[in-house]
Structure 1
Amino acid sequence: MPSSARIPVLILTGYLGAGKTTVLNRFLAASGARIGVIINDFGDVNVDAALVAGQVDEPVSVAGGCLCCISDPEQLDDAFKKLTRPDLRLDAIVIEGSGVAEPPALLRLVMDSRVPKIRFGGLIEVVDAAHIPQAEAAGWDLEQHVRAAAVVLLTKTDLVTDPGARNSLEARIQRANPHAMIIEAPHGNFDPALFVDASDDDELEFGQLALWNPGETLGESQADHDHARHHHVHHQSVTVEHEGPVDPVALSEFALDPPETVYRVKAIVDVVTASGARRFAVHSVAGYVTVDAMARAQEEPAASSLVAIGLELDHADLQARLEAFCLPSTTPPASASQLRRLTRFRT
């Protein structure tokens, strides 16, 4: 990723036994990206850290119990500072929350972080589809835990033989969080490219944004891949390259409220202002938007690149919508209020 880019932080939550560690290991092995991990350690022996050892680039354990209950939030920021060192060249950071962590509180800790080199990358709730009654009998609250999720990964769906039970579960999730993307992930299988990009280079050449995807090569054995592809859909993407600026208002509205099948939007765009063209990196994860200013040579011609990533995309519709943001190079400068519609997401 670009050295100036902020590192996305993904939050992985789910009740004990739901399959978080299996999902995490799958993600680490299959993403093709450099991943840092922050793991809740409830005991003297960090079992989860042992399971991911050898796959993770830089593990960090946060002591003190549940992340959302730590007495000093600075502790989490200390972990972020360690993992955002430029020499690590991480593509993403994953927080594996404890089985009792409340997702909204975890999300708030990340959103309120004072570490400038990170951005929120999405909250993923892991739900064991086969053992919902047992989890709820033990005090777990489905609605509360999926309410803050950008994605709900349903594990052990191969054990659910009653279609009615599966439909009922999905209906409950959708009622609690209509914006959550529900993905089946039996055996922890899913497409990591939906969540994170892998880049081998320190600097991403402008115009190569469309290549900033690991694609469908998931780094798994052929047998695993043959099994997995029958249970989940690979990510899809729609890309628009434009030799000119974009409309900051239209782009900000799209990023804030993307189509329900779009999980991520990423863009490097130029906006014409009264003082000249300005370049921004825009990221949207399930409607959570971040914007960063990028360096740009004033004599450089305006150019923009936009990508929408999700599942079962309407390619023609998305292509048309992304192209509608594109303006001719001769477009009048955006007003200060129009520019603020986009830059308000800078933090």
Structure 2
Amino acid sequence: MTVRTVPVVLVAGHLGVGKSSLVNHLLRHADGVRIGVVVNDFGALGIDAMLVAGQASSVTSLANGCLCCVTDADGLSGVLADLVSPAAGLDLVVVEASGLAEPRELVRLLLASHDPHAVYGGLVAVLDAGAPDLEHARLADLVVVNGLDRCGAAALDEVRAVAAGAVVGTSHGALDPALLVDPVRRPQPSQLTLDALLREADGEHPHMAAQSVSFTSERPLDAGRLAAFLESGPRGVVRIKGIVRVPDGGGEGFDEAPDVWEVQTVGTAIRVRPAPGRLDTRGARLVLIGTDLDEPALRAGLTACVVSDDDPAPSQHAALALTRYRIDLTSA
């Protein structure tokens, strides 16, 4: 049986850039998604935890220190264990780090975690549009430039010039949740959920709506070319999801590895796993989600990944370019 995994998204940035505003916006517009939050306060009073308590499905507060001060992976794993366990039933965990935390260390700690239920969902760096930290932009899978209401969209250009991942502009932290996670349809309770009550009371807080581009192919995609496309962080694309057939079954080290893979990305953070049998396909079915998307360019990039009759036969290890991002090597 395959382990149920929960993506853990790290939200980092300097003090006052709008991290809590972004997390609160996600919680208020969860649309059925069950979100757990780890709030990393620095100081004796858990102010950040107070700001999100009651809005999240689950909140864990880490007082008196930064996550970057946790020197072993077990420290972070212990904090996340309850949130990512199947019993919790969460769809997403967001770690809002103190403004004093070092993003590189946050990523290292999560990637070193041995919890089979927690998977790296990407580093989201929140930057101040008026004075963006370009070093954070270079590290992040997704960069959120907050404060466009004060500085204008031109503030994005400087960040895009150096960012390795996707770049999105916001005001007041209003990031469309669709850029991170899909809505989940669950039976509606007789009593309104807190996010629904908040929307009724406050009204919808406008955000830059996500766009989508669909791509289908009746032929398999070349694993190497597809991996290069995903790793390049196509302009405007924040998420990619779908299923893909590749010509080779996965290469050495994967017994009876499948040919069809489920693909999920957030910025440059890539996750693949064997597709459920009901999602079998002869080629590819992908959806790209982001803002200001160049649809012709994206379609051209994916079309170039399609295997043609003129392509040489794949080597034994050809699929490893993609399957090295596999996340479900453990069973339970």
Same fold (TM over 0.5): yes
Which amino acid in the other structure matches residue 107 of structure 1?
Answer: V
Which amino acid in the other structure matches residue 150 of structure 1?
Answer: D
Q: Is the contact between residue 137 and residue 164 of structure 2 (CA under 8 Å) also seen in structure 1?
A: no
Match of 2:270 in 1: 289
Q: Distance in 2 between matches of 1:222 and 1:326?
A: 49
Compute the displacement of 1:35 (Å): 0.8
- State whether structure 2 residue 293 is matched by structure 1 residue 344: no
Which one of 166, 188, 197 corresponds to residue 173 of structure 2? 188
Which one of 163, 173, 179 corresponds to residue 159 of structure 2? 173
Which amino acid in the other structure matches residue 18 of structure 2?
Answer: G
Within a 5 Å distance, the mapping from 1:296-311 to structure 2 comes to: 296=277, 302=282, 304-311=284-291
Q: Is the contact between residue 7 and residue 119 of structure 1 (CA under 8 Å) also seen in structure 2?
A: yes
Compute the displacement of 1:106 (Å): 1.3
- State whether structure 2 residue 322 is matched by structure 1 residue 322: no
Within a 5 Å distance, the mapping from 1:1-347 to structure 2 comes to: 6-32=5-31, 33-63=33-63, 65-129=65-129, 132=131, 142-160=133-151, 167=154, 170=156, 172-175=158-161, 177-200=162-185, 220=199, 225=204, 228=206, 233-242=208-217, 245-273=220-248, 278-296=259-277, 302=282, 304-326=284-306, 334-347=314-327
Compute the displacement of 1:77 (Å): 0.9
Match of 1:211 in 2: none
Compute the displacement of 1:10 (Å): 1.4
2:116 is paired with a residue of what secondary structure? coil
Which amino acid in the other structure matches residue 184 of structure 1?
Answer: G
Q: Distance in 2 between matches of 1:5 and 1:309?
A: 24
Q: Distance in 1 between matches of 2:326 and 2:268?
A: 14
TM-score using structure 2 length: 0.78
Compute the displacement of 1:157 (Å): 3.4
Which amino acid in the other structure matches residue 251 of structure 1?
Answer: L
Identity of aligned residues (%): 34
Q: 1:111 to 1:277 in 2, by over 3 A?
A: closer
Compute the displacement of 1:95 (Å): 0.7
Which amino acid in the other structure matches residue 173 of structure 1?
Answer: V
Q: Is the contact between residue 41 and residue 97 of structure 2 (CA under 8 Å) also seen in structure 1?
A: no
TM-score using structure 1 length: 0.75
Compute the displacement of 1:68 (Å): 0.9
Q: Distance in 2 between matches of 1:88 and 1:193?
A: 22
Compute the displacement of 1:244 (Å): 5.4
Match of 2:192 in 1: none
1:15 is paired with a residue of what secondary structure? coil
Choose 253-262 or 288-297, whichever is displaced more.
Answer: 288-297
Compute the displacement of 1:80 (Å): 2.5
Q: Distance in 2 between matches of 1:143 and 1:276?
A: 40
Which amino acid in the other structure matches residue 155 of structure 1?
Answer: N
Q: Distance in 1 between matches of 2:323 and 2:145?
A: 36
Compute the displacement of 1:38 (Å): 0.9
Q: Distance in 2 between matches of 1:224 and 1:113?
A: 39
Match of 1:137 in 2: none
Q: Is the contact between residue 251 and residue 325 of structure 1 (CA under 8 Å) also seen in structure 2?
A: yes
Q: 1:333 to 1:199 in 2, by over 3 A?
A: farther
Q: 1:325 to 1:70 in 2, by over 3 A?
A: same
Q: Is the contact between residue 256 and residue 284 of structure 1 (CA under 8 Å) also seen in structure 2?
A: no
Q: Is the contact between residue 84 and residue 117 of structure 1 (CA under 8 Å) also seen in structure 2?
A: yes
Choose 96-105 or 86-95, whichever is displaced more.
Answer: 86-95
Compute the displacement of 1:73 (Å): 3.0
Provide structure 2 residue ranges, at least 5 long, that are not aligned to the other structure: 188-195, 250-255, 328-332
Q: Distance in 1 between matches of 2:54 and 2:323?
A: 40
1:259 is paired with a residue of what secondary structure? coil
2:8 is paired with a residue of what secondary structure? strand
Compute the displacement of 1:191 (Å): 1.2
Compute the displacement of 1:66 (Å): 0.6
Q: Is the contact between residue 4 and residue 86 of structure 2 (CA under 8 Å) also seen in structure 1?
A: no
Provide structure 1 residue ranges, at least 5 long, that are not aligned to the other structure: 133-140, 203-216
Q: Distance in 1 between matches of 2:261 and 2:62?
A: 33
Compute the displacement of 1:261 (Å): 1.6
Choose 88-97 or 13-22, whichever is displaced more.
Answer: 13-22
Compute the displacement of 1:57 (Å): 0.9
Compute the displacement of 1:201 (Å): 6.3
Q: Is the contact between residue 126 and residue 146 of structure 2 (CA under 8 Å) also seen in structure 1?
A: yes
Q: Distance in 2 between matches of 1:248 and 1:5?
A: 25
Q: Distance in 1 between matches of 2:285 and 2:186?
A: 18
Choose 331-340 or 35-44, whichever is displaced more.
Answer: 331-340
Q: Is the contact between residue 179 and residue 260 of structure 1 (CA under 8 Å) also seen in structure 2?
A: no
